[in-house]
Amino acid sequence: MFILETYSAAVIFCLITMLCWGSWANTQKLASSGWRFELFYWDYTIGILLFSLGLAFTLGSNGAQGRSFMADYAQADAANLQSALIGGVVFNIANILLVAAISIAGMSVAFPVGIGLALVIGVVVNYIDAPAGNVLLLFGGVALVTAAILLNANAYRKLSSTTAGVSTKGLLLSVIAGVLMGFFYKYVAQSMTVNFAAPETGKLTPYTALVFFAIGIFLSNFVFNTVLMYRPFVGKPTSFAAYFKGSGRDHLMGVLGGMIWNAGMSFSILAAEKASPAISYGLGQGATIVAAVWGIYIWKEFKNAPKGTNNLLNMMLLCYILGLGMIILAR
């Protein structure tokens, strides 16, 4: 199977993760304006599953190192398969809330608050499980990201105080999503072998872990997203009949969004061996910067904000950039 050989390659993979995780939500915006996020999300989970399977039977099944996907699955312990599945379930709850927050508050709010909080929690949780890197640099970077979250929340509060129709519900959903999002990665990391080239018996290679992570997302969606369709956070209930009435473009945007996100997840998992789970996850969650730039400068989500808001947003981006730089240097 394909694996990375150096830390510098792992950093490049993490940067690609950052771009993918920060950009996939644009596909939701590119779908038709009447296409509900609950309907979009079905195609999104299909895209995640398809990408995982495609990767497993290509990069995960070729090469001289490690184990091929089917051989790895055949020898895997049930506990490790279950751990990857649980990671998918936890992620799915968090991500549904995040997508709901995006639809209510926009990318430039939901990502910095939700994913920023996930970064802080995720780095701490993954560092406890697998300590690696300079503690002062790593957690100094986390502190700067925390400051960025607070700056963004303050900017959103300014916007909501002067803009009709802006609800604090979006901010609250972002916070809850971020707390849950901070824990999913550890379950996937715990299921995997430490040495990708010579994997331990019973443990999963990253490709097998990604497939079962995706299965966890897809299966749990029949519970969580079905409930949300009939009891939505905003708007009227929708139905499965409405899903099948969607245009080809609407469905394509959802599948594409899932594939883009899972490309980022796959690169992050492959980078975890050389960079450590804490640094790989933390750096990948620099997606917040990418999403904030999309939301602020492309989608103009703060165009009606009061004076002084742009200064807060610029300070937020600066804190994120400095914080992520420290996380990279921590290794």
Tokens of 15: 């940067």
Cα–Cα dist 131/151, whole Å:
29
Q: What is the pLDDT of residue 193?
A: 94
Are 29 and 299 contacting, i.e. CB atoms less than 8 angstroms apart? yes
Cα–Cα dist 266/213, whole Å:
11
Cα–Cα dist 211/157, whole Å:
40
Q: Classify residue 3 by its DSSP letter.
A: -
Q: What is the pLDDT of residue 200?
A: 94
Are 131 and 319 contacting, i.e. CB atoms less than 8 angstroms apart? no
Quote the pTM value: 0.83
CA 132 to chain CA mean position, Å: 22
Residue 163 has pLDDT above 70, yes or no: no
Q: What is the pLDDT of residue 226?
A: 96
Domain ranges of the chain: 7-329
Cα–Cα dist 215/47, whole Å:
11
**pLDDT tens per residue, range 230-282:** 999 878 999 999 999 999 999 999 999 999 999 999 999 999 889 888 888 87
Residue 103 has pLDDT above 60, yes or no: yes
* 59-63, 127-131, 149-153, 191-195: least confidently modelled range: 149-153
Residue 288 has pLDDT above 90, yes or no: no
Q: What is the pLDDT of residue 206?
A: 95
Q: SS3 breakdown of the chain: % helix, strand, coil, rounded to 5? A: 75, 0, 25
Residue 161 has pLDDT above 70, yes or no: no
**pLDDT tens per residue, range 200-220:** 999 999 999 999 999 999 999
Residue 44 has pLDDT above 80, yes or no: yes
Cα–Cα dist 117/122, whole Å:
8
Pick the more confident residue, 228 or 234.
228
Q: Classify residue 2 by its DSSP letter.
A: -
**pLDDT tens per residue, range 128-156:** 888 888 999 989 988 898 888 788 777 87
Give mean pLDDT, residues 168-180.
87
Cα–Cα dist 193/196, whole Å:
6
DSSP string, 133-178: S-HHHHHHHHHHHHHHHHHHHHHHHHHHHHSTT--THHHHHHHHHH
Q: What is the pLDDT of residue 2?
A: 93
Cα–Cα dist 165/170, whole Å:
11
Look-up of token digits 């972002």: 174
SS (H, E, C) 140-151: HHHHHHHHHHHH
Residue 165 has pLDDT above 70, yes or no: no
Q: What is the pLDDT of residue 108?
A: 65
Cα–Cα dist 324/202, whole Å:
34
Q: What is the pLDDT of residue 306?
A: 84
